[in-house]
Amino acid sequence: MKLSDFDFHLPRELIAQAPSPERGESRLLVLDREAGSIEHTTFSALPGFLRNHPVMVFNDTQVLPAKLQGVWADQGKQVEILLVREEEPGTWQALMKDLKKCKPGRRLTFVEGNLEAEFLERKNDAALIRFSSNENLQRHLETHGKMPLPHYIHRSADDPAHTEQLDRERYQTVFARHSGAIAAPTAGLHFTNEMMLQIEGIAEPLYLTLHVGIGTFIPVRVEDIRQHPMKEENYRVPVATWNKIWKAKNESRKILAVGTTSTRVLESLQFDREEKSDVSGWTDRFIYPGQRFNNTDHLLTNFHLPKSTLYMLACTFAGPSLLKKAYEEAIQARYRFFSYGDAMLIL
């Protein structure tokens, strides 16, 4: 199970730098595992592939505008901070540069002077910082925080797509409800409110929450991929969602996971009983070829980075050779890749 087995050449110009002009206008590649067939269509055609009233599981996490610009009070030097995980109200793990130079007690200030923070300690590769006011932090995030776009999105300052408001709207699903993610569940970005209403008549939409964390930014650096340590992420499955999935499995109805994040929650759990309350916890589930899917029958996902854990999950679900063939066709057909790109439905 070598990392090099999951590499492929992707022309840089196919990496989507901005969303499609209108939400829901993406292309859709449909890969039928049983037939071994590939169909090219548009995302608006998705409802036509939802047969026999399947369950559709969406991740309703909400992306935080988690990038902040601070200033070290002792130097006046600016520093970019990415909040990644709240330890307790007002205290966060965060990513920042020059972490080795930071000493406990060092203070940060932010624009408008109504928010400060103190560096507490280094925690692995992250900083632990405590803000002066949790309420002021929340207001500051809303007014000054920037969306944590992936590292492969590069825009110049004069690019018309380089607007924070656009990203606040489009790097967020229309069904986002629970704040806490630092990356979007990108398969869900294609859905419009109109399509969600359309789906209700032909499928059963259900919602769970996985707050996408720092692990989404960490590349696989080991040649034996089984040695890659996944970062744990917090999930919650509402009791209604759990029991409807349990019921669907008992009725042999198909379950369509919308995105790899929903898939990892589904495959971290056993829906073998009825529950009386929400189920929550942490998962570091890493899915790679050789593993079985117990709760996922179909998968809707985007096109992923070479050698990424997301690409490995898709390879596991579709089969490495068939997925490679689909990606080759997608590249030839000039599909848009990654977070703001096009979609793939694997049946």
Per-residue pLDDT averaged across 65-87, rounded?
Answer: 92
pLDDT of residue 121: 93
Q: What angle do the packed helices 320-332 and 309-318 form, to 10 degrees?
A: 110
Say which residue, 268 or 77, is predicted with more confidence. Answer: 268
Average pLDDT, the chain: 94
Please determine, for residue 161, whether its predicted confidence score (pLDDT) is greater than 70.
no
Which band of pLDDT confidence, cut at 50, 70 and 90, is reported for residue 289?
very high
Per-residue pLDDT averaged across 161-181, rounded?
Answer: 90
Query: Which is the CATH superfamily of the domain at 3-63+165-346?
Result: QueA-like (3.40.1780.10)
pLDDT of residue 102: 87
Please determine, for residue 160, whether its predicted confidence score (pLDDT) is greater than 70.
no
Per-residue pLDDT averaged across 239-245, rounded?
Answer: 98
Which band of pLDDT confidence, cut at 50, 70 and 90, is reported for residue 113?
low
Query: What phi, psi does 58 have (nearest 5°)?
Result: -105, 150
Q: What percentage of the chain reaches a pLDDT higher than 90?
A: 86
Instruction: Enter the tokens of residue 158.
Output: 């004069």
pLDDT of residue 155: 77
Please determine, for residue 124, whether its predicted confidence score (pLDDT) is greater than 90.
no
Q: Which residue has the tokens 């999105």?
A: 153
- Long-range contacts, stretch 38-41, CB < 8 angstroms, 24+ apart: 38/325, 38/326, 38/329, 40/329, 40/333
Q: Shortest CA distance to 267 belongs to which of 293, 232, 286, 245?
A: 293
Alpha-carbon gap, residue 315 to 318, rounded angstroms: 5
| 3-63+165-346 and 67-144: identical CATH topology | no
| pTM more than 0.75 | yes
Q: Which helix (H) or strand (E) holds 70?
A: strand 67-72
Q: Shortest CA distance to 325 belongs to which of 36, 14, 28?
A: 36
Tens digits of per-residue pLDDT, 7-64?
999 999 999 999 999 999 999 999 999 999 999 999 999 999 999 999 999 999 999 9
Q: Shortest CA distance to 248 belongs to which of 313, 291, 298?
A: 298
pLDDT of residue 157: 64
Per-residue pLDDT averaged across 70-88, rounded?
Answer: 91
Which band of pLDDT confidence, cut at 50, 70 and 90, is reported for residue 252?
very high
Which band of pLDDT confidence, cut at 50, 70 and 90, is reported for residue 101?
confident
The two beta strands, 91-95 and 78-88, are: antiparallel
Which band of pLDDT confidence, cut at 50, 70 and 90, is reported for residue 162?
low
Per-residue pLDDT averaged across 294-301, rounded?
Answer: 98
Alpha-carbon gap, residue 35 to 38, rounded angstroms: 9
Please determine, for residue 198, whether its predicted confidence score (pLDDT) is greater than 70.
yes
pLDDT of residue 316: 98
What is the third-level CATH fold of 67-144?
Thrombin, subunit H (2.40.10)
Please determine, for residue 73, whether its predicted confidence score (pLDDT) is greater than 80.
yes
Tens digits of per-residue pLDDT, 317-346?
999 999 999 999 999 999 999 999 999 999
Kindly list the domain boundaries of the chain, sorted by start residue: 3-63+165-346, 67-144
Please determine, for residue 165, whether its predicted confidence score (pLDDT) is greater than 90.
no
3-state secondary structure of 13: helix
Tens digits of per-residue pLDDT, 125-137?
899 999 999 999 9
Per-residue pLDDT averaged across 102-111, rounded?
Answer: 90
Please determine, for residue 264, whether its predicted confidence score (pLDDT) is greater than 70.
yes
